[in-house]
Structure formats: C-alpha cells, structure tokens
Amino acid sequence: MDLQIEVELRDGLLFVTASGTVTLEASVRLLKQVFDTAKEKGVNKILVTTLAVDGELSTFDRYAMGTQLAEYIQQRHIDVRVAFYGKRPTTDGFAARVAQNRGIVTEVFYNYEDAVNWLAKWKAHLLANSAGEANDLV
C-alpha cells in the first residue's frame, strides 16, 4: 500500500498518522504537505505517528530526507517542533538527526507519552497563516 497520512488539528497540535509502505519520494512529499498545513493553520507543534508504516529506507535515503525537509522548512520560514513516534527499523532517528544538524527542532520517540511530553515543553506560538492572519494558540 502506498504511503498515506491522516491529519488532525487538536488543541494546538497537528496530529499526523502515517500508514503504508515507506519510500523517500512519498515521505518527503507528505511531510512537506504536513509542514505547509502547520504553517497555514498557524500551528508550531507536530506529532507524526509512524507505527503503521512498513519498510525501511537506506541510510542514503534517510540522509536525503533529512536534508531535503530541513531545506524546505528553512526556505519557507516554517517554525515547527516535530516529534516522530514510531518503531525501528522504519523510524530510526537518522533523518531527524540530519535535520537537527541543520537547525530543525525534532526528535524521535518510541513511547507516545514521551513524544507528547516533549512537545508540551515547547510554548505554542501565535503564528500568522499564509493569508497573514494570526491564529491564537493556547
């Protein structure tokens, strides 16, 4: 099954659930959509759950994902905190480490509560959406 996502905005947090078979192209495309949605909705905290994702990217593909997504976030001035909650080998943290090394605030967790607690420590911002309107987050 192709990689797909479900996105839900709840309590100032963008919840993303991914399922299907992982590929570099689909992962990058879908995560770019997630980051655009966060910017549009004025949300700066994202929880991506990858428990239902199958497959494994090569180290090179993980590196490419981390660099491409970091570049995308920086070029579009998207200020986000991204927690990934998943399992090995699909989610091993290498792409996140690559993105961290490029200034992106992200972490990988293997426990849901740890991911939620990590996001909770970050203050929700008042972000402007793509139309320039401010969205209140509490």
- pLDDT tens digits for range 14-58: 999 999 999 999 999 999 999 999 999 999 999 999 999 999 999
Distance of CA 4 to the CA centre of its chain: 14
**Is the Cβ–Cβ distance between 84 and 106 less than 8 Å?**
yes
The CATH number given to 4-135 is 3.30.750.24
Q: Which of 83, 93, 72 is nearest to 44 (CA)?
A: 83
Q: Which of 127, 128, 78, 122 is nearest to 103 (CA)?
A: 78
- pLDDT tens digits for range 100-113: 999 999 999 999 99
Average predicted confidence (pLDDT) for the chain: 91
Q: Which of 10, 3, 80 is nearest to 46 (CA)?
A: 80
Sign of CA dihedral 112, 105, 45, 95: negative
In angstroms, rounded to a whole number, what is the distance separating the alpha carbons of residues 86 and 71? 23
Domain ranges of the chain: 4-135
Indicate the residue type of 26.
Answer: A
The pLDDT value given to residue 36: 97
The pLDDT value given to residue 136: 41
Alpha helices in the chain (DSSP H): 24-41, 59-75, 94-100, 112-120
User: Scanning the structure block, which residue is given the tokens 């929880």?
Assistant: 47
